[in-house]
Chain A
Amino acid sequence: MPPDEPLVRWDWVLSHLDDPIGTQLAEHLRLSLIPVLLGLLIALPLGVACARWRRLYPPVFTGINVLYAIPSIALFFLLLPYTSFTDWTAIIPLTVYTLSVLVPNVVGGLDQVPAHVREAATAVGFAPVARLLRVELPVAVPVIVAGLRVAAVASVSMVSVAALVGLGGLGQLILTDGFQRQFPTPIVVGIVLSVALAFAIDGALVLLQRALTPWARGRAER
């Protein structure tokens, strides 16, 4: 980096607002949210199954943790021969990572449904599936959303690494535009936007939870 280079060149930021800053931000958002949604779609049935058939949980839990232990870069490169430079190269590993948070939270959320609530649901005549969908899962929502918040923030931060395989949204800004050209402005922009995006998604999830669970408000204080 040249010694007289400033940390941020505002003229570059302004002239590149649309491209690459805007496009990479949108790309980053897409690449981090799709894995969270896919992860939730997989974690719900998997978590429900683990909560119901308890013996399933230890091997599943170990399995998703082992997957989580694989470094993301390694996974990206491992997938390259199959998915090449499509979005799936980023989406598949990130989806797998969200499971390590989401599955335990689905199981935990279902576990904390009070026994008397479960029992009452059976006693008033909910069939097992209706009981799950209309009582147990709704009551588990706060815990599941808490897991979603962790998974979403982790996903936003990990997308950047996919820049190494030519994907990665803001990661591209940091790696290609900034690091390789010894130009700090895109690096700073990439980091700031990445953090801001994480905050924004987290905030959106908090609002979502408030809207979904008016009944849980104030419970923590009691």
Chain B
Amino acid sequence: MITFEGVTKRYPGGTVAVDRLSLRIPSGRTTVFVGPSGCGKTTSLRMINRMIDHTEGTLAIDGTDVREVDPVLLRRGIGYVIQQAGLFPHRTILDNIATVPFLLGWKRGRARGRARELMELVGLTPELAKRYPYQLSGGQQQRVGVARALAADPPVLLMDEPFSAVDPVVRASLQDELIRLQSELHKTIVFVTHDIDEAVKVGDTIAVLRPGGRLAQFDTPEKLLAEPADDFVETFLGYDRGVRRLSFFPARQLRLRTHALVPQTATAAEAGATAARTEEPWLLVLDGERRPRGWLAAARLDPSQDHAPVDPATPVGELPLTSYGHVFQVGQDSLRAALDAAVLSPAGRAVGVHEDGTVAGVVAQTDLGEAIWAVGNEDDGTGPAEGAPDAAR
């Protein structure tokens, strides 16, 4: 556990970068410092490994005051990842990763062996070992940065906006990778970002800092989105925090309708009968493997409507269908993904699929609305959070 107790950083000119910060960063979890520029989040991070020394208060790692440890030795025991990876351009990828083991005096072979293990762990192919940093893409360099930070297996990992210099697609995959790594390694990660979406995605707990270096709120992402402590936090979270909150609620609680599914071999007459019986305006046509093929508007099958008549004997698979858009996975996805699928669906309905891609059912807007309304109601209680992190004081 990393404890901040009234930690302040005051520069000689009188500027206060961090103002009486008190919080407990739990071990084995990911804690994110987030806030606008000038909120002191990076300063707070760097005070942990004494890249910056705090001026007041106490900062301790597992009960040991960081000021009582030699900074050089302290840093060798704490992994550090920075924005542009900060790789040493004159060292090969393998030797970059082995930097801390070398500094700790490991034998060359052991250090490099460990570096090879880490390359595999972070998803770098072994051919890259002998390359130099300039020969790697930004995303690969960042993976090397993470591997270097993990090389000596430090219990604590500091990450200073590690993914903000790469493009959004690479960033998303690096975030997923970090979440996967953390589920295996259980490090105490302190992660700095200015991006609230990133914070919500990777963080177990989030500390929102406000300009002037004061703590605005320290909570789980769920709690933060549900109950922002004040206007500053609410504004910082953005106008769509309600929608974002839906990502903490599973889609499996939604009611799935299966009565409006028709196989592609059904005739237009049969489909028309189904539509009339269920009063569903859209039917989802399935292929032979129960995978979605497309939407069929019930109106097209109604002979009383004013349009080119459809031969009642035609299989619906041969009629022009409307694209089913994108689907959500019933078992894994959240309400947010289901809502997204419904919004993007031409039929206004979300298609839920099983892991193998077969259709589980369709969610109508009314059912989705009810589920979202239920989420809103949970705000009166404690919400789905596993309990707020313990904030000091």
Contacts and interface: CB of A to CB of B under 8 A. Distances in A.
A116 B88 contact: no
B276 interface: no
Nearest to A127: B72
A215 B85 contact: no
A216 B51 CA distance: 29
B82 interface: yes
Interface in B63-85: 72-76, 80, 82-85
A216 B90 CA distance: 7
B85 A116 contact: yes
Given A116-B84, A117-B89, A215-B90, A123 B73 contact: no
B148 interface: yes
B51 A114 contact: no
Interface in B135-170: 135, 145, 148, 158
A127 B76 CA distance: 10
B204 to A, nearest CB: 23
B51 A139 contact: no
Contacts of B88: 117, 120-121, 135, 139
Interface in A100-124: 114, 116-117, 119-124
A124 B87 contact: no
B132 interface: yes
A112 to B, nearest CB: 11
B180 interface: no
Interface string B93-104: 000000110010
A124 B90 contact: no
B89 A124 contact: no
A124 B100 contact: yes
Contact of B75 (A122, A138, A139): A122
B91 interface: yes
B134 interface: yes
Contact of B90 (A120, A139, A218): A139
A219 interface: yes
A125 B133 CA distance: 20
A182 interface: no
Given A125-B72, A125-B103, A219-B134, A119 B89 contact: no
A91 to B, nearest CB: 32
B89 A116 contact: no
Nearest to B104: A125
B387 interface: no
Interface in A187-221: 213-216, 218-219
Contacts of B99: 124
Interface of B is mostly: mixed
B132 A120 contact: no
Given A125-B72, A135-B88, A139-B88, A120 B82 contact: yes
B305 to A, nearest CB: 63
Contacts of A114: 84, 86
Contacts of B135: 218
B84 A125 contact: no
B193 interface: no
A222 interface: yes
Contacts of A219: 89, 134
B148 A117 contact: no
Contacts of B134: 215, 218-219, 222
Interface string B35-79: 000000000000001010000000000000000000011111000
Nearest to B149: A124
A126 interface: yes
Contacts of B76: 124-125
Interface in B106-136: 132-135
Nearest to A218: B134
Nearest to B165: A116
Interface in B201-252: none
Q: Top 8 A-B pairs ranked by shortest CB distance?
A: A120-B86, A125-B76, A123-B80, A125-B75, A215-B132, A116-B86, A116-B84, A138-B90
Given A124-B100, A139-B89, 9 more contacts: A117-B87, A123-B49, A124-B148, A125-B76, A127-B72, A135-B88, A139-B88, A213-B90, A214-B132
21 contacts: A114-B84, A114-B86, A117-B86, A119-B51, A120-B86, A120-B87, A120-B88, A122-B75, A123-B49, A123-B51, A125-B73, A125-B75, A125-B100, A126-B103, A135-B88, A138-B90, A214-B132, A215-B91, A215-B92, A216-B90, A219-B89
Interface of A: 114, 116-117, 119-127, 130, 135, 138-139, 141, 213-216, 218-219, 222
